[in-house]
Amino acid sequence: MTVERYIRIFAGLFIMASLALGVEESPVFVSHWALVFTAFVGLNLFQFGLTNFCPMAIILRKLGAKDGAACYPAQ
């Protein structure tokens, strides 16, 4: 798998987990403050789209994940 696919998988997983922890009707509700993590992940995805910089991508590359075409800026 490529770095972009890992990022999408992790972002989706983190958003779903933080929603489960932050929505009062959820059986695993902890606190409404868990929704701040959802906003944090969304903000990171937004800035990754604009700047092509993502700390998670750096970590994944060091762990050996391959880059896909979306990691390279258009020429």
Domain holding 47, by residue range, is: 3-64
Rounded Cα gap, residues 27 and 20, in angstroms: 8
Count: domains in the chain: 1
DSSP for 1-65 reads: -BHHHHHHHHHHHHHHHHHHHH-TTSTT---GGGHHHHHHHHHHHHHHHHH---HHHHHHHHTTP
pLDDT by residue (tens digit) across 24-51?
999 999 999 999 999 999 999 999 989 9
Res 75: pLDDT: 47
Q: Does residue 36 fall inside a structural domain?
A: yes
pLDDT by residue (tens digit) across 54-75?
999 999 999 999 987 655 555 4
Q: Does residue 70 fall inside a structural domain?
A: no
What pTM does this model have? 0.79
Q: Does residue 71 fall inside a structural domain?
A: no
Q: Does residue 74 fall inside a structural domain?
A: no
Q: Does residue 34 fall inside a structural domain?
A: yes
Confidence category of residue 23, pLDDT binned at 50, 70, 90 = very high
Q: Does residue 73 fall inside a structural domain?
A: no
